[in-house]
A and B are shown apart, each in its own frame.
Chain A
Amino acid sequence: MLEIFTLTLLTLFAITSVVAAYLAIRERDLVKAVVYSAIQSAMYALIYYVLMAPDIVLVYIPVSVGLIPAVLLFVIKKTERYEGD
């Protein structure tokens, strides 16, 4: 029973990460794209946790949900906010 619960969580996180990545690439407002990318990274962190890698989760959440979106928001503040013409 626990195996089925774990595998269901795994598939759920994987599908949510696909949706978040698609929205991050299609979004024209770059701030929203960064937020969707952070959601995708959080889903990957949960996938790592389900795949029995808790030490990676401890490094991955501050780096990929905290630091990289902060750097990207700094870059967007210094440059343009909207993509395209």
Chain B
Amino acid sequence: MVNEYALFAAYVVVLSLYVNLGIALYGIFARPSLVKKLIAITILSDTANAFAILVGYRWPIGKLPKPPVITELPVTRKVLETYTSTAVDPLPQALVLTAVVIGLAVTLFIAFIIIQYYRLYGTVNIHKVRRR
């Protein structure tokens, strides 16, 4: 019963992430305001990060997974065996930790570009800019 429910939850989470991806792409391509496009870009990058985390997750079949941290100091063979059988994958977490910080830098850069755009054109609506 737990296995079927885990499958259902996996389907719902992956489907919601795909829907978020579609919403973010709609926001980037179809909304006129540049600030709204920036919000959509942040949603898109968050969704990509969530996909990466979801790939490294170990679905709870039998027992719940643990964070990838070894807490017992004399690392024996038995400790390593329990670690590899219960912990989630630490590699996507390290990559996402880097991607979050880089995404912050990119967002700051695009915000600066939008402010300069407003100083040059007097609007952030791309339709109004095209009509001039």
Contacts and interface: CB of A to CB of B under 8 A. Distances in A.
Contact of A4 (B5, B23, B115): B5
Given A4-B2, A7-B9, A52-B65, A60 B36 contact: no
A71 B88 CA distance: 33
B31 A83 contact: yes
28 contacts: A3-B5, A3-B64, A4-B2, A7-B6, A11-B13, A15-B12, A22-B23, A24-B27, A25-B26, A25-B31, A30-B36, A30-B39, A33-B39, A44-B46, A52-B88, A55-B67, A55-B93, A56-B97, A60-B100, A63-B100, A64-B100, A68-B42, A68-B107, A71-B108, A75-B35, A83-B33, A84-B33, A85-B125
Binding site secondary structure of chain B? helix
B84 interface: no
Contacts of A10: 9, 13
B57 A80 contact: no
Contact of A56 (B53, B87, B125): B53
B27 A25 contact: yes
Q: How large is the interface on A (under 10, 10 to 19, 20 to 34, 35 or more residues)?
A: 35 or more
Contacts of A15: 12, 16
